[in-house]
């Protein structure tokens, strides 16, 4: 897969099983969020607007009324190589769905690598919000991105 190529994935039981086998022992902040249980992981995948494969990982897209939230899952360091081109490719592919909404990532503040990925993608730090993840209240950094032509 080329660095800016994205592929929309069909969410089914086979995909859930395949991805769960890669994330179930990841620990850290991921395991108290999307990866707390396989059933929760299944629920968030099926509830996503889109799930796309990118070089080095996948991204869940949740399209809300005011913004689009990206949830990347990194499987290798390749995800860092062309992060900016990848976010532009995702935007270009789904521009009609995004309707000029800002794209954001909400990252637990201690997840340094995820914040680096957001910055490499051209996202800008917006502030802090608090999220409950599996009953644990965490400070999270908010990063946003808008296409330059909008």
Q: What is the CATH number of the domain that holds 86?
A: 3.40.630.30
What's the domain range around 74? 7-145
pLDDT at 28: 61
- 79 located within any domain: yes
Domain membership flag for residue 1: no
CA distances 127 to 72, 101, 116, Å, are: 19, 18, 15
Single pTM value for the model: 0.86
Q: Which residue has the tokens 């910055």?
A: 119
Angle made by CA atoms 64, 65, 70, in degrees to the nearest 5: 25
Q: How far, in Å, CA of 16 to CA of 19, rounded?
A: 5
pLDDT bin (cut points 50, 70, 90) of residue 147 is confident
Give the 3-state secondary structure of residue 89.
helix
- Write down how long the chain is: 150
Average pLDDT over residues 93-121: 89
Residue 150, in any domain of the structure:
no
User: Over 80: is that where the pLDDT of 35 sits?
Assistant: no
Task: State yes or no: pLDDT of 94 exceeds 80.
Answer: yes
50-79 mean pLDDT: 91
Give pLDDT, residue 4.
74
pLDDT at residue 90, rounded to an integer: 92
Cβ(70)–Cβ(18) below 8 Å = no
Residue predicted with more confidence, 99 or 42 = 42
Residue 135 falls within a domain, yes or no?
Answer: yes
Domain presence at residue 33: yes
Residue 2 located in a structural domain: no
DSSP string computed for 16-62: HHHHHHHHTT--TTGGGTTTSSHHHHHHHHHHSSEEEEETTEEEEEE
Q: What average pLDDT does this structure show over 82-108?
A: 89
- Confidence band of 150 (pLDDT split at 50, 70, 90): very low
Q: Is the residue at 113 inside a domain?
A: yes
In a domain, 76, yes or no: yes
Report the Cα 52 to chain-centroid distance in Å.
Answer: 10
Q: How many domains does the chain have?
A: 1
CA distances 31 to 26, 76, 96, 136, Å, are 7, 18, 32, 12
């Amino acid at each position: 897969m080329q660095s800016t190529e994205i592929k929309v994935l069909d969410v089914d039981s086979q995909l859930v099983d395949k991805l769960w086998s890669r994330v179930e022992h990841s620990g850290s902040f991921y395991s108290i969020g999307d990866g707390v249980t396989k059933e929760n992981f299944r629920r968030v995948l099926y509830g996503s607007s889109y799930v796309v494969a990118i070089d080095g990982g996948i991204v869940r897209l949740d399209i809300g009324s005011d913004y689009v939230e990206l949830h990347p899952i990194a499987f290798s360091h390749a995800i860092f190589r062309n992060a900016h081109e990848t976010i532009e490719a995702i935007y270009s592919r789904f521009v009609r769905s995004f309707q000029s909404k800002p794209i954001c990532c909400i990252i637990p503040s201690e997840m340094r690598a995820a914040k680096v990925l957001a910055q490499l993608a051209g996202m800008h730090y917006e502030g802090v919000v608090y999220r409950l993840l599996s009953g644990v209240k965490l400070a999270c950094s908010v990063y946003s991105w808008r296409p330059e032509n909008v």
